[in-house]
Chain A
Amino acid sequence: MTLDPLVLSRLQFAWVVAWHILLPAVTIGLASYIALLEGIYFATGKEIYFRISGFWTRIFAVCFGMGVVSGVVMPFQFGTNWSRFSDATANIISPMLAYEGLTAFTLEAGFLGVLLFGRNLVPRWAHFASAVLVAAGTLFSTFWILVTNSWMQTPGGYRLVDGIFYPTSWMQIIFSASFPYRFMHTVAAFYVTTGFVVMGVAAWLLRARKSPDEAKRMLSATLWLLTLLVPLQFFLGDLHGLNTLHHQPAKLAAIEAHWEREARAPIALFAIPDQKAETNHYAVELPLLGSLILTHDINGVVPGLKDFPPGDRAPAIIPFFAFRIMVGAGLVMLALVMAGLWLRLRGHLYDRGWFLRALTWSTPLGFIAVVAGWTTTEVGRQPWTVYGVMRTAHSVTPSLTGSDVLISLLGYMAVYGIMFPAGLWMVMRIVRAGVAKHSHEPVEAGRPAAPVKSGDGS
C-alpha cells in the first residue's frame, strides 16, 4: 500500500482537531461558569462561591493551557498540509480567523493571567471583570471559528476567479446559511458538556463525602440549567437538521444512509451502508418516521445519495454512525436530567446513590456527543472542503509526500498520546483533592507574593 499524503493529511487534521475540540468544549462552559461564580461572590460576598470558583479555576487553568497549545497547532495545519485550500480561500476565511485572534485570543490571554494569578494584585471589580472578559473571549472565539466552518459548509457571498475565491458580501460570508444554527447548536453543546462535567464531579464529591456543601450548590444549579438546555439542544439540533436538508441535501442523505429519493421515507435505526453496492445491509427501519423527523411532514421528500454522482457522495457509514452516537448520547443526557428533575421534586436529589453514580459515569457523555457531532458535520461535507465548490483532493499541499505526512502524524500522535492522558490525570488529581477548605488568606504587606498554583486565589 502506498502512502497517500491526502488521506494522511485528513487523518492528521482529524486527529489534531478532535483532541483540540475537547478543550473548548469544557473551557468555554467553565469560563462562563467561573465568571458567574465570581459575579455572585462579588455581589454577595459569600465565601462558598469563592471556594467553588477557585476549585473550577484550577481545573480551567489545566484545560485552558492544553487548549492553547493544541489550538496553536490548528492555523499552521492550513499552511503546512492544506496550502491549496489556503491559497484559494484566504481572501474569505483569513479575516474570520484573524478577527478570532484579535477579538478572542488576545482578550483571553490578556486577562487570563490576572484571573489565575492576580486576585490579590488588582481590585476585586477588576478581577471579576477579568473573569467576564476571559469568558467573552471564549465565546468570540467560538463565533469566528464557526463563521469560518459554516462558510465552508454553506458558502455564500463570493465569486470565483481562476480558482481563487473573492469576497462580494461580508454579511453573506459571516452570516452564511448554516451559521446561526451551527453556532447555537455548538454553544449549547459546549455548555451541556461542561454541565455534565460539573455534575459528574459534584456527584463524585458527594459520594466521597468531600466538600458536600459546595458539591450540592454545583449540582443543584447546574441541573436547573441543564433541565432547560438539554431539551433546548434537541430543538436546536432539529432546526440545524432542517437547515442541512435545505442547504446540504447530500450530507443529509449520507447521515441517514438514504439511497433513494422518496416521500414517506422510513428512518434507519441501524444499518451497514455499502457505498459500492449503493444499499444498506442489516437495516432496521421504522416506516414514515424519516420524512416526519427530517422534513416535519409525513409526506415530505427525503433526498437520496443516488441523487448525486458517486464522486460527490460522502462515505455514508461514518456520518451515519457518528450521528447516531451523538443522538444516543443526547437521549441518555435527556433521561438523566429528567430523572434529576423527578428526584429533586421528591427531595432526593443528593441522596440517591444510583443517580450520583450515573452522573459521575456520564461525565464524558458531552465530549462523546461533541466529537460525534463534529465528525458528522465534517465527514458529511466530504468530498468537499468548500461544499459543492472546492474538493478536498484539490485542497492538499502538492509538495508533500506520504512519508512526510506519516512522520508528522506519528509525531502528533505520540505527543498528544502523552499530553492528553497526563492532563486528564492532572484534572482528576485536582478533583480528588476536593474544594479547598481555606478561604481568604490575608494579603501580605508590600509586594504580593509570587503566584502560587493558578486559581488558588491566595
Chain B
Amino acid sequence: MIFDFVPIWTLILGLAVFFYVLLDGFDLGVGILYNFAPTTAARNLLMNSIAPIWDGNETWLVLGGIGLLAAFPLAFAIILPAIYFPILVMLLALIFRGVAFEFRFRDVEHRTFWDHAFGYGSALATFAQGVVLGAFIQGFQVEGRHFTGGSFDCITPFSLFTGIALLFGYSLLGAGWLILKTEGELQAQARRHARFCFLGTLAAVGIVSLWTPLVDSGIAHRWFSWPNIALLSPVPVLTALFGILEWRAIADRKSELSPFLYAVLLFSLSYLGIAISLFPMIVPHHYDLWQAASSPDTQIFLGVGTLFLLPVILVYTGWSYWVFRGKVRADTGYH
C-alpha cells in the first residue's frame, strides 16, 4: 500500500454521518414539533419550511449507510444485523413521514391520518436512531466476522434512554430551524419549545455522559485518567459555554439564527465526545478502523471520486438551501 486511506475515510464517513444527524435532525425535529402545532395553518407552515429540502437531507442517510459499507464493510456486516429492529422501525417510520409530505396536500379527506403519519413517523424514526446510537456505544456480541447475539439484544435501558435523549436533541434543532424560518406567534411558540427541548437535551447529555463511563470502564479510563482529563476538559467546558449562549439566544427575541447555530455546536461537541470515547474502534471492543477497512484498492477508487464530488455536492446543496432562504409564510393557499 502506497498511502493509508483509512484516516481520510474515517473523516469522510464521520462528516457524512454528522451531516445526516444535523440535516435530517432538524427536519425530523420539525416533524416531532409538528405534533404540537396548534392549527392547520401552523402545520402547513411547519411542513413547508422543510418540504423542498427533506429529500436531500435524507440522502445523507443513504450516503452514511453506503459509506460505512464502502469504507468499513466488516463493521457494516456486524452492526446492521445487531440493530435489525431499530433499523426496521426507522425505515418504516421514515416511509410514513416521507410520503406524508405529498399525500397530506392531496388527500384532504384523510389529512388527520397523514398529519399523524408525519408527526408520529418523525418521532418514531428519531427514537429508533437514538436506540441505534445507544446500542452502538454499548457494543455487540461478535464471533469472527459475524454478530452472534439476538435481534432484541440492542433494546436495553441505556439504548431506550438514548432514544428519548435524541427526541429532545432533534426537537431542539427543529425548534432552532423554526425560529429561523417563522415569525410572530409561531416563532414565539418555537422559542418556548426550544427552551423546553434545550433543558431536556442538557439533562439527557448529562445523564448519558455519566452513564456511559459506568457501562464501559474503557471509556471511563479514556476520559478520567491523567493527562486525558486535562486534555479533554475543553469538551465539557465548551459544552457548558455553548449551553449558556444557547439559553440566552433562545430568550433573546432579536436573535433568529443563533438558537439554531448554538444547537448545531452543541451537537458537534456531543458527537466529538462520542468519537473520543470510541476511537479507534468501529465495532466497539472488537474491530478498529483499520481491521474493518475495505481493501486499499476500494478505498482509493472510491476515495478519489469522493474527494472530487463531495465539494461539488456541498456547493449545489448549499445553492438549493439559498433558493429557499428567508421566512416561510402562512398566507398561501392550501384549501
Contacts and interface: CB of A to CB of B under 8 A. Distances in A.
A451 B309 CA distance: 30
Contacts of A348: none
Contacts of B59: 101, 105-106, 109
Interface residues on B, range: 35 or more
A172 interface: no
B75 to A, nearest CB: 10
Nearest to A64: B55
A429 B69 CA distance: 40
Contact of B62 (A75, A110, A111, A447): A75
A84 B107 contact: no
Nearest to B310: A102
Interface in A84-111: 84, 86-87, 90-92, 94-95, 97-103, 105-111
A94 B70 contact: yes
Given A411-B92, A447-B327, A449-B331, A72 B70 contact: no
B65 A79 contact: yes
Given A101-B62, A408-B84, A90 B94 contact: no
Given A72-B91, A99-B302, A419-B95, A117 B310 contact: no
B226 interface: no
Interface residues on A, range: 35 or more
A453 interface: yes
A114 interface: yes
Nearest to B80: A79
Contact of B69 (A61, A94, A411): A94
Nearest to A118: B323
Interface in B55-78: 55-56, 58-59, 61-63, 65-67, 69-70, 73-74, 76-78
A422 B317 contact: no
Interface in B132-171: 145-151
A355 interface: no
A90 B78 CA distance: 13
* Centre residue among A69, A78, A415 by max chain B CB count within 10 A: A69
Interface in A418-456: 419, 422-423, 425-426, 429-430, 447, 449-454
Contacts of A110: 56, 313, 316-317, 319-320
A284 interface: no
B55 A109 contact: yes
A450 B319 CA distance: 18
28 contacts: A65-B55, A68-B55, A68-B98, A69-B99, A76-B80, A84-B77, A90-B69, A92-B298, A94-B73, A94-B294, A95-B301, A98-B67, A98-B70, A99-B302, A99-B305, A101-B62, A102-B63, A102-B313, A110-B56, A110-B316, A110-B317, A114-B320, A118-B323, A118-B324, A122-B323, A398-B148, A422-B107, A426-B103
Interface of B: 45, 48, 51-53, 55-56, 58-59, 61-63, 65-67, 69-70, 73-74, 76-82, 84-85, 87-88, 91-92, 94-96, 98-99, 101-103, 105-107, 145-151, 294-295, 297-298, 301-302, 305-306, 309-310, 313, 316-317, 319-320, 323-324, 326-334
